[in-house]
Amino acid sequence: MTQNPEIEPGIPAPLNSAEVTDRAALDQGTYPQLRTARSEARLELDGTWHQISPRYVVSQNVQNLIFIAVVLAVAAVLALVLHQTWAWIPAGVVVLITLITMVILPRQARAIGYMLREDDIVFRKGILWQRMIAVPYGRMQLVDITQGPLDRAFGISQLKMVTAAATTGVQIPGLTQTAAEALRDTLIEVAESRRTGL
């Protein structure tokens, strides 16, 4: 196998014109810069419990109120326009359950927490039925941040960690955007170091 004498060893070969054209085509007609709010902070693996933002409760209650309004509107159309008065019974049950959920929600939100330990992240939630999950850093395959329209309006996010076992996937709701980004960056960094054995 002979080397091209014009290319020095250790220096990558220049791209041919087709590769340059293809790469340039990716950015033609696009926005000049992706709009992100990236945090460079790294969290400490301190082994203490961290909680979610109280804005999570407000966001969830607004969503529940919208849901109640939709249920009542559907029941009203069925009862008043189509003369199906039975529609008020299931609507009333659904509204009652949703109102009970709204009353319990602040207590449930205070029971949600996570702890960054040396080898894993521990997530806990629940009042009567408590659930505690420990996810080893080396098993993480994906760390994802999602936001719905209302979550974005209240400045909160949901962070999801995916592992090889589907049952150990963890979703932490109600994180502030800054906390979610810092936690994501920390988890990615620590998970990478655990996988490579550094």
What is the predicted pLDDT for the residue at 20?
A: 44
Q: Which domain range does residue 145 map to?
A: 49-196
Task: Please give the model's pTM, rounded to 2 decimal places.
Answer: 0.73
Is 137 inside a domain boundary?
Answer: yes
Residue 86 lies in a domain: yes
On whether residue 31 sits in a domain, the answer given is no
What are the backbone dihedrals phi and psi of residue 47, each rounded to the nearest 5 degrees, phi first?
Answer: 70, 25
What is the average per-residue pLDDT within 98-122? 93
pLDDT value of position 28: 62
> How many Å apart are CA 112 and CA 108, to the nearest integer?
7
Predicted confidence band at 48 (pLDDT cuts at 50, 70, 90)?
Answer: confident
CA dist list (Å): 100 to 65, 74, 131: 12, 21, 21
Please tell me which of 56-60, 82-86, 127-131 the model is most confident about, judged by mean pLDDT.
56-60
- Structural domain total, the chain: 1
- Tell me: pLDDT of 35 over 60: no
Per-residue pLDDT at 42:
61
- CATH number where 56 lies: 2.30.29
**Interval 37-62 mean pLDDT:** 80
**Whole-angstrom distance, CA of residue 146 vs CA of residue 159:** 6
